[in-house]
Structure 1
Amino acid sequence: MSDTTTNTLGALIAREDAPEALQVAEQLAASVAGALNLRQHGDATLAMLPGGYELRDVTSIIEKAAPVRNRCQGTVMLGDVDSLLAYCDDQACQEFGYIYADPDGRSITAIFNDQRLRAVPGWRDHRAHFTAQLTPEFQKWMSNDKKAMSQGEFAEFIEDNFADLNGQDAQTLLNVATTIQATTGINFSSARRLQDGQVQLTYNEVIDAKAGADGALKIPQVFTLGLRIFKNGEGYKLTARLKYRLAAGGVKFWYELERPERAIEDAFAGYVAAVREKSGYVVLIGKP
């Protein structure tokens, strides 16, 4: 018992109300003895205190003072599937854990101390988590899907996102955008579909109030994007249909992505297939 505690007991006993002071002193002494007499209950460390006091779990306090933890726990957030696979391999808990893939949330969560074995039920608090994040370029194409643009806006959009266009479609659309942007004061008069599937827009360029020059502009019916859907992911091909509308001598352009939600599902399904093939864990579809 410390000198401070001994002096406190002596001061209490010396008071005039010695019986009551003695009772308080005895309770204080019992509290100190209970605090020093720690008990183990499984992995928990408990201190037994007399009536009027609380039973407190001091396990975490003692564990923090130890050089290592008594078991693995916590959640690590990872940025790509390769990192998730590497972490899962390091934990080597294929016998005890599950991996959960959630297509709606586009997330994959590994629980290393799960309840896979009934004889060894785990606490389910040792985890690794990965969420597939959409790339800025894919979000830009998604946010402008089915959005009508003026001639200038369409030309600027194609030029700004030229790197996302795939193959010959890239040069064709760039030519369309360049022609529109370079030609001022034009009136579109008609449109017809050609045998190769492209659309030909006939326009008249007004040079002055009396004269003009006629021309024809071909635009493709469909074009292909080649871009990453998820950050740190691989490239993915996506088809889009180019649409137009003639109005008041001008033309509005827009595009419609073909089932972009399906493309997201397919890209995430590729992640799930890779984890199922390489991790060695049982992969379940659902939320943990």
Structure 2
Amino acid sequence: MASSQGHTTLVSGEAEAIQKVADLATAGQKPTVEWIDGIDALGAGLPESIPVLMQAGSGGGRVADLRTLIEAYRIGPARRTGTARVTTLEAFIALVNRHKDDGSAIFAKTDWPGPSLTAVIDYHDEDNTPRHGEHRVAYAFPVTPEFRAWIEGNDTKMAQGEFAQFLEEHAAELAAPYDAEVNTYERLFRAKFATPNELIDLARSLEIHVNAQVKNAVRLQSGEGEVVFREEHVNGAGERVTVPGVFMIALRAFVDGEAVRIPARLRYRVSGGAITWTYVLYRWEDELRSRVQHDLMRAAEETGLPSYEGAPEGR
């Protein structure tokens, strides 16, 4: 190295070495791109590899929040989520069969109100490996308008005209009892069974006497009732109306289900010459639960999945 008038003069070898050091320093400040392989093994919908920008620094190259970078390259959802809601049992079975795997399971709410089936497609595996349980198929049993009307009117006091109209409107759901039903329920209720024709005759008789007062009401040994109405315009003359003690209804409880048969007790009360009517459906919740249990068994059989009465975890 030589010096002239206060300036430093570098020989060629020294200048070359300094330039190399400067080049290395400059290169150390530049980011570099690296490729990370095997990303597709982390989950469905990921590519095989992704580029990562490596920032230079005093501690060497580093990448922050690698998951955010990976998710930015996702070309499909990480997993199936959401609840598909179907309106028929057949659709429930078909959709479950389409998506099920070895860990799927079916749960049922069998009691009233709101009976339903829920299939959890990504339920926990049999080896107890936890899964998210976020992909589901749900079927809420749709109640028929006719059965809902019977439920809403159950054990509800009705005026004479209102009750007569109700029987007329729902005459199609009245059923003749089987011999076994007669033997069982007449003994149980100590009341006489009515045929559909007898109930229709009762409704028409009530319509005739809708504005009449009750003169007398008695319970007969046959298990029937007898009501005598007094018509004001016939000077107290009355007409007897026979009232059965129990009758049978048969109808579909659910839109795509089979018919259920439910006995109903018929009652009346007299107060101040006026009469009110009620019917009480006998253990109708048990009949609906049996219907739901039957459909749960069918769904389990046709999907090959385990089934449980109850609700899955969460949600």
Residue equivalent to 2:43:
43
* % identity of equivalent residues: 25
Q: What secondary structure is seen at the aligned counterpart in 2 of 1:203?
A: strand
Alpha carbons 1:158, 1:177 under 8 Å: kept? yes
Alpha-carbon deviation of 1:72? 5.1
**How big is the alpha-carbon RMSD for the aligned residues of Structure 1 and Structure 2?**
3.2
- Alpha-carbon distance in structure 1 between the residues aligned to 2:153 and 2:223: 24
Alpha carbons 2:215, 2:238 under 8 Å: kept? no
Letter in 1 for 2:86: L
- Alpha-carbon distance in structure 2 between the residues aligned to 1:108 and 1:57: 40
Could you give the per-residue CA deviations for residues 214-251 of structure 1, whole angstroms, max 9, x where no partner exists?
Answer: 21000110111112222321111111111101112221
Alpha carbons 1:98, 1:282 under 8 Å: kept? yes
Residue equivalent to 1:63:
75
Residue equivalent to 1:134:
143
Alpha carbons 1:38, 1:48 under 8 Å: kept? no
Alpha carbons 1:39, 1:47 under 8 Å: kept? no
Q: What secondary structure is seen at the aligned counterpart in 2 of 1:171?
A: helix
Moved more, 195-204 or 105-114: 105-114
Distance 1:60 1:263, change over 3 A: farther
After TM superposition, the structure 1 = structure 2 runs for residues 26-175 of structure 1, keeping only pairs within 5 Å, are: 30=31, 40=39, 42-43=42-43, 55=66, 56=68, 59=71, 62-64=74-76, 73-91=81-99, 93=101, 95-104=102-111, 106-118=115-127, 122-167=131-176, 169-175=195-201
Letter in 2 for 1:96: G
Which stretches in structure 2 are left out of the alignment for 5+ residues?
Answer: 1-25, 56-61, 177-193
Alpha-carbon deviation of 1:266? 1.6
Q: What secondary structure is seen at the aligned counterpart in 1 of 2:240?
A: strand
Alpha carbons 2:250, 2:262 under 8 Å: kept? yes
Could you give the per-residue CA deviations for residues 136-161 of structure 1, whole angstroms, max 9, x where no partner exists?
Answer: 22222112211111111111111122
Q: What secondary structure is seen at the aligned counterpart in 1 of 2:222?
A: coil
TM-score (norm 1): 0.74
Residue equivalent to 2:223:
197
Q: What secondary structure is seen at the aligned counterpart in 2 of 1:271?
A: helix
After TM superposition, the structure 1 = structure 2 runs for residues 264-275 of structure 1, keeping only pairs within 5 Å, are: 264-275=288-299
Alpha-carbon deviation of 1:287? 1.3
Q: What secondary structure is seen at the aligned counterpart in 1 of 2:74?
A: helix
Moved more, 125-134 or 110-119: 110-119
Residue equivalent to 2:233:
207
Residue equivalent to 2:245:
221
Letter in 1 for 2:109: D
Residue equivalent to 2:17:
none
Alpha-carbon deviation of 1:207? 1.6
Which stretches in structure 1 are left out of the alignment for 5+ residues?
Answer: 1-22
Structure 1 position 232 matched with structure 2 position 220: no
Moved more, 273-282 or 218-227: 273-282
Q: What secondary structure is seen at the aligned counterpart in 2 of 1:281?
A: coil
- Alpha-carbon distance in structure 2 between the residues aligned to 1:268 and 1:221: 29
Larger Rg: 2
